[in-house]
Chains A and B, each alone.
Chain A
Amino acid sequence: MTSILFIEQLLNGIQFGTMLFLMSAGLTLIFGVMGLINLAHGSFYMIGAFCAALVAGITGSFWLALGASLCGAAIAGVLIEILIIRRLYRRDHLDQVLATFALILLLSEGVRWYFGAFPLYLSIPDSLNGTVPIFSEIIYSKYRLFIILMGFLIAVGLYLLITKTRLGIRIRAGQNDREMISALGVDISKLYTVVFALGAALAGLSGAMIGAIQSVEVGMGEPILILAFVVIVIGGIGSIKGAFVGSILVGVTDTLGRVFLPDLLKIFMQPAEATAIGSSIGSMLIYILMALILITKPSGLFGKS
C-alpha cells in the first residue's frame, strides 16, 4: 500500500519537476547568455496560459491552444526584448530587476484590463482525461504522464539544440565570451532576441499545460518564478543540465516532503501537532535544500566557479 503511494508521489514530484524545468531552462539561458535577471519570466507563463485559454475558447481545440501558447509567448518575448530588454544588457543588475519588476506590473494589469479579473476556463482534452494503469496496481493521471513526457522531450530537444546545432554553438560561445563572438561577426543582438524568445516560448508552453489543470488567472506566474529561481541557483546559473537536475530535485523534494514529513513526525508526536509542524517544515524543505547545496557548492551543482 505505502509503496504504491510512494511511487505515485514520486511520479507527482517528477511531473512537478519537469514543469519547473520548462520555466527554469529559459530563465537560466537568458541569465547565462545575456547576463540578464528577468523577473518578468513569470509573465510569459501567464501570457502563454491566457493565449491558450483564448484560442481554446474560440476553436475548442487543446492542441491548437498549446500551439498558440508557444507562439503568443514567443511573439510577446520578441516584442518585449526589442522594445525594452535590449536597453538593459549594459546596465547593472539592480536596474534590470527594477525594470523587469515594472514589466510584471504592466503585463499583469494589462492582462487584467483586457481579460477581466476572473479566472478563465481551460481544460484538458478528452483523450488525456482520466487515469491509466502503470505496472498493474499503480493508477496515474494520463495528463500528468503527458506533462512528464513533454518535459523530457523538450529537455532532449534543448540538449540537441545546444550541443549539435550552429545556434547552440553560438549560445555557448555567447555564454563564454560575448565580446569575442560579436568580434567574429555573429549578429549578437539577433542571437539575444532568439534566446529570449525561446525562453519566453518555453515559459508560455508550461503556463498553458499547467493552466489546464490549475487555473488561468492574473498573477499565476509569480509563485512559479520564485521556485524557478531556486532551481537555477541550485543547478548553477547558466547551465541547462543544472536546471534539469535542479528541477527534478526540487519537484521531488517538495512533493515527498510535504506528504511524508507529517507521517514521519507522527511516530514521536501528537497527530495534530505532527500535521501542523510537518506541513510547515514541508513547505520550507526546498529552501533548506538550497541552503545545504549552497554551503557545499557555492556556485550550484553544475555552475562554473
Chain B
Amino acid sequence: MKKLKTTLAALMIMSSSTIFADGHQLKVGMITTLSGGGSGLGIDVRDGFMLAVKGNQNISVIIKDDQRKPDIAVQLADKMIQSDKVDVLTGIIWSNLAMAVVPAAVNQGKFYLSPNAGPSKLAGKGCHKNYFNVAWQNDNLHEAAGGYANSAGFKNTFILAPNYPAGKDALTGYKRFFKGKLAGEIYTKLGQKDYAAEIAQIRASGADSVFFFLPGGMGIGFMKQFSQSGINVPVVGPAFSFDQGILKAVGDAALGVKNTSQWSKDIDNPANKKFVSDFQSEYGRLPSLYASQGYDTGKLLISAMINAKVDDKDKFRDELRKANFASTRGKFSFDKNHHPIQDIYVREVIKEGKTLTNKIVSVGLKDHSNVYVSECKM
C-alpha cells in the first residue's frame, strides 16, 4: 500500500513537471490596494483575476499591497521586475499610482494590463505598445453619463468631482457629451466626506439635475446627505459610487439612481453568467464592476498564452491585441491605443429581495472608444 502511494506521488510529480516543461510558464506581478481606505476595490480586482486564472498551472501570480501609495507601488514594481522577474504586471487601481509605475515598467519590456486605472496621458501621447487597458479610459463612463443626461432631458446640471487628475477627467468627459447648461461646477477636496456646503450650493443654484464623480467612501457620504437634504432632483454618476461593494453602505438612499457602467451583473451572455455564479460560489458575495475587470484581465492573459509564449514579445503582443476571449461584457475589442471599444450601459439601482443591486435600463454609448486615439503614435 505504502509502495503504491509513493509510486503515485512520484507519478504526480513527474506529470506536473512535464506540464512545467511543455506549458508556457508565465509570471504575473499584481500590485493593488489591499489595506486601508479603498481596499475594497483592490480586493475585488484581485479576487476577479484569481478566479479567472484558477486552476491554470501555467500562470503563477505574486500579489502585493500598494497601500494606495505611489512610492510603495514603485518599490514593489522594481522588486517584481528585478528580483522576481515577472513577465506581466497588473492590478493598479488608482490613476496616480498607474502614472508612477506603468511608464517605467513598459519601457523595461514588461507587459502591463490595467484592470482599472485609465488616465488620459497613457491613452494619448504617453501610450505604449506594451500597455493594455482592459477596463476603460478614465473619461468613458462620464461621457456616457453626459449622453444620458441629454436623453433624459436635463438642461441645467450641477456637476462636482474631487480636485485631482481623475476628477478633472471626469468633469471634462461629462461636459464633452452634455449639451445643456451648467448650474454650477465644484471641485471638492480629495477624500472629503462631508458635503453639507456643496449640497447647500446645489439647493441655491436651482439645478434640475446633479452629476457627481466621487469614488469610494466619498460617494457614500454624498448620497446619504443628499437624500436627507430634501432636494428633489435626479442624480447621475458613474458606476464607481454605486458598485456592489458600496451599495450596502449607501442603503436605500441610492434606490432609483441612474449610473453608467461598462459592466453589469445582468448583461446577458454565457461568460458573464458563469462569472457571476462562479464568483458568488467562490467568495460568497456578488461581484462588482472591479471584479469583472480583474476577471476579464485574467481571461485576456490566458487567451494570449494559447498561441504565443511570453518570451516572444511581438507575437504575444499581437495575441493580446486580438482580445480573443469571451468577455463578461460581451463585445470587446481594443482600439489602436490599446484601450477598449465597448458598450457603456445606463444602469438603475434596484432592490432584489433585500439586496441592493443594479439593472441595465439602456445602452448609453454603443461601441464607444476614446478621444485620445488620434494623439497616440504607436
Contact = CB atoms under 8 A, between A and B. Distances in A.
B196 A275 contact: no
A275 B40 contact: no
Contact of A279 (B187, B204, B245, B248): B187
Contacts of B193: 210, 214-215, 220, 223
Q: Is the interface of B mostly helix, strand, loop or mixed?
A: helix
Interface in B204-238: 204, 217, 220-221, 224-225, 228-230
B37 A218 contact: yes
B40 A279 contact: no
A157 interface: no
B335 interface: no
Interface string A261-305: 010000000000001100110010000000000000000000000
Contacts of A262: 186
A118 B40 CA distance: 5
Contacts of A259: 197, 200-201
Contacts of B34: 117
A1 interface: yes
Contact of A123 (B186, B187, B224): B224
A275 B185 contact: yes
Given A16-B194, A123-B251, A141 B229 contact: yes
Nearest to B36: A219
A118 B217 contact: no
B293 to A, nearest CB: 17
Contacts of B228: 124, 129-131, 141, 143, 213
Contact of A8 (B43, B200, B251): B200
Interface string B166-201: 000000000000000000011111010110110011
A218 B224 CA distance: 18
A4 interface: yes
A56 to B, nearest CB: 11
A9 B197 contact: yes
Contact of A117 (B40, B220, B221, B225): B40
Interface residues of B, number: 36
Nearest to A212: B224
A12 B221 CA distance: 15
B249 interface: yes
A4 B230 contact: no
Interface in A110-157: 112, 117-121, 123-124, 129-131, 139, 141, 143-144
A120 B249 contact: yes
Interface of A: 1, 4-5, 8-9, 12, 15-16, 108-109, 112, 117-121, 123-124, 129-131, 139, 141, 143-144, 210, 212-220, 223, 255, 258-259, 262, 275-276, 279-280, 283
